[in-house]
Amino acid sequence: MPEDTPVAPAALRSRLRALLMRLYKDRDPDELASEIIAAFWPADHAGGTRPRARARKPGNALWSQKDVLLITYGDSLIDGVYKPLDLLRDFLSENLSGVVNGVHILPFFPFTSDDGFAVTDYTKVNPTLGDWPDIQRIGAEWKLMSDLVLNHVSSQGAWFNAYRQQQPPYDHFFFEASPEDDLSTVVRPRITPLLQEVETAGGTKHVWCTFSHDQVDLNFKNPEVLKEIVRIIRLHVDMGVQIIRLDAVAFVWKEPGTPSIHLPQTHAIVQLLRVLADFAQEPVVLLTETNVPKAENLSYFGQLNEAHWIYNFPLPPLILHAMLSGDARYLAHWMRAMPPAPQGCAYLNFTASHDGIGMRPAEGLLPDEEIARMISTVMDSGGRASMRALPDGGTAVYELNATFFSAVARSYKGDTAHHLDRFIASQTIVMSLEGVPAFYIHAMLATENDLDGVTRRGMNRAINRHRWDYPELRALLDDPQSPQSRVLAELSRRLKLRARQPAFHPNATNFTLTLDDRIMAVWRQAPDRSQSIFALHNVSAETVDLPPRAMNLIADETWTDLLTGETLHPEEDGVTLAPYQCRWITNRG
């Protein structure tokens, strides 16, 4: 055992040992367990942190209905004078206090491409954004999420430069394969060649690049890579990060001749990180970023021993389809089939992120002709489409590139008059479902497609990554008639209401109702049964009248629409929803 390894509970060592035996059969698992513990709880740690005596038990105490996340780049707000992270903190304080309590700052490290996801140095903050004290100040006031870009690093960073020189330990840090290997079944979201030929001090090598040739995949078959990733997590936690997003985690373990996605060793790595999180003194929540079909995504909950949270990736395409078609049936059908998140786990719900609107999670949930119509409608509104490679050599749309605000600009029937109401309804669905809601800054700000950005940067995803001039944005927010002001005000109002409702706890009962094809309806009940909410969302441009007794409400209770404040008598009068109107009908006003 290394001399600097802290005394650790036997249960911690035992769990790590079992997982390490699955990953590194030719290494001493006891020695490796000690090294992993020393990496996460170094003896010289400034804070003196040590493992918990017992693992944190699976439960839902780490989140509540008050948890709402903002997703943003560190430089989504700029003015040419102040540090972007200072502007972000100002925006959070001035506009989102009491609205969101967490913020996901997309990769804030030095990088060379992919808007932050080709990292050159995991230990530094990109100086164009700010510094670690700026990150810590935000983390002191909001639950902070950071990206652990663990599948790959920049080809221009120090690690890969050392690999080219074949300098230990980096000479074995990157995954190599041969062009002669069977790579025909490898699953990946890009159409560029998988292998990149590079010249090194040890000769010609072929390195694995799941995404781009500037993003070279790490070799987790080398335990030194895993230990380095664990040290990076410790740094993030020390800097105030509470939620770790495991970027592209499904691809981390590769085996030629296999799909190289969701392999058992990948799940073992996630389980190992969960063990560290469970024994950490600090609150640490793991979120896996696995933009794949439902069954594969759900597998990252494991047996309560992997991710705390997983993204609800089918939500963006299904909500988009409902809003464009005026038909909630496919969304409701999927919701009925979704199991509740296990104890100690939760879904992360969203419609928009820094990436596009993924089409792959809609496979099998929407008919091909509906997906095609959705794609064409969004593209008619100025959107773009990004492609992925198929095993047979063909291509398919991987994601639609558009801001969600622009994506719902017109319906299938050509309706544009209800644009704002349609968009606000789409975001309200996210607020109403089981799980933790997260909102991309450009959804909160009703940002339109940045077509100039696409032209300027030559990248489809730039359409959804606008950088707001902060003084210009402030002027728009001060104008009560601007879309930015109207959308932010109404979403903020609804989120403040939501935070006070125990029936909107991320793990509260969620039962999908069948009322009308145009209505997405769920019944939520607080974990202690103290409150029920019937959340109704009209996804159409038509007025919908629900008949009396449609929802089987308890007759002797008073029912109030939280969004309008009116007292309702739905068992006598029924309920009317105007085009794109949402109602939160509760027995506890």
pLDDT digit string (tens) for 348-364?
999 999 999 999 889 89
Q: What is the mean pLDDT of residues 187-205?
A: 93
Provide the angle, in degrees to the nearest 10, between the axes of the packed helices 10-23 and 264-279: 160
CA distances in angstroms from 93 to 142, 346, 353, listed in the order given? 10, 27, 22
Q: What is the CA radius of gyration of the chain?
A: 24
CA distances in angstroms from 550 to 1, 237, 310, 521, 546, listed in the order given? 66, 49, 33, 11, 7
Is the confidence at residue 296, as pLDDT, over 80?
A: yes
Residue 244: which of 365, 175, 148 has the closest Cα?
148
Is the confidence at residue 7, as pLDDT, over 80?
A: no
| Main-chain dihedrals φ then ψ at residue 119, nearest 5 degrees | -80, 135
Provide the pLDDT for residue 416. Answer: 96
Is the confidence at residue 249, as pLDDT, over 60?
A: yes
Provide the pLDDT for residue 11. Answer: 96
State the binding site: 114, 152, 245-247, 354-355, 461
pLDDT (tens digit per residue) in 409-448: 999 999 999 999 999 999 999 999 999 999 999 999 999 9
Please list the residues that pair with 173 across neighbouring strands.
none
State the binding site for substrate: 114, 152, 245-247, 354-355, 461
What is the distance of C-alpha 212 from the center of its chain?
A: 21
Is the confidence at residue 5, as pLDDT, over 60?
A: no
Is the confidence at residue 330, as pLDDT, over 80?
A: yes
Q: Which residue has the tokens 């804030």?
A: 108
Is the confidence at residue 398, as pLDDT, over 90?
A: no
* Domain boundaries defined on the chain: 69-108+123-146+262-504, 509-586
CA atoms of 128 and 85, how far apart (whole Å): 9
Between 59 and 378, whose confidence is greater? 378
Provide the pLDDT for residue 190. Answer: 81
Q: Would residue 247 show up in a list of annotated catalytic residues for this protein?
A: yes
- The model's confidence at residue 6, banded by pLDDT at 50, 70 and 90, is low
Is the confidence at residue 4, as pLDDT, over 60?
A: no
Is the confidence at residue 194, as pLDDT, over 70?
A: yes
What is the three-class DSSP state of 496? helix
CA atoms of 100 and 460, how far apart (whole Å): 29
Measure the N-to-C terminal CA separation of the chain; round to a whole number of Å. Answer: 59
Asked if 114 contacts 214 with a C-beta cutoff of 8 angstroms, the reply is yes
pLDDT (tens digit per residue) in 547-585: 988 887 776 788 999 999 999 987 788 899 999 999 999
Tokens of 112: 């060379």
Q: What is the mean pLDDT of residues 96-122?
A: 97
Give the domain 509-586 fold. Immunoglobulin-like (2.60.40)
Q: Which residue has the tokens 């020393």?
A: 38
CA atoms of 326 and 267, how far apart (whole Å): 39
What is the distance of C-alpha 384 from the center of its chain?
A: 21
Q: DSSP labels for 96-146?
A: -TTT-SEEEE---S-BSSGGGTSBS-TTS--TTT--HHHHHHHHHHSEEEE
pLDDT (tens digit per residue) in 451-510: 999 999 999 999 999 999 999 999 999 999 999 999 999 999 999 999 999 999 999 999
CA atoms of 126 and 525, how far apart (whole Å): 44
CA atoms of 194 and 213, how far apart (whole Å): 8
- The model's confidence at residue 542, banded by pLDDT at 50, 70 and 90, is very high
Asked if 315 contacts 425 with a C-beta cutoff of 8 angstroms, the reply is no
DSSP secondary-structure letter at 581?
-
Give the domain 69-108+123-146+262-504 fold. TIM Barrel (3.20.20)
CA distances in angstroms from 224 to 173, 174, 295, 512, listed in the order given? 8, 11, 32, 47
Is the confidence at residue 215, as pLDDT, over 60?
A: yes
CA atoms of 149 and 210, how far apart (whole Å): 13
Residue 276: which of 235, 223, 233 has the closest Cα?
233
- The model's confidence at residue 3, banded by pLDDT at 50, 70 and 90, is very low
- Active-site pick, 67, 134, 247, 516: 247
Q: What does DSSP say about strands 241-246 and 143-148: parallel, antiparallel, or unpaired?
A: parallel
Asked if 325 contacts 288 with a C-beta cutoff of 8 angstroms, the reply is no
Is the confidence at residue 133, as pLDDT, over 50?
A: yes
Asked if 136 contacts 105 with a C-beta cutoff of 8 angstroms, the reply is no
Element counts in the chain: helices (H) and strands (E): 18, 25
Provide the pLDDT for residue 388. Answer: 76
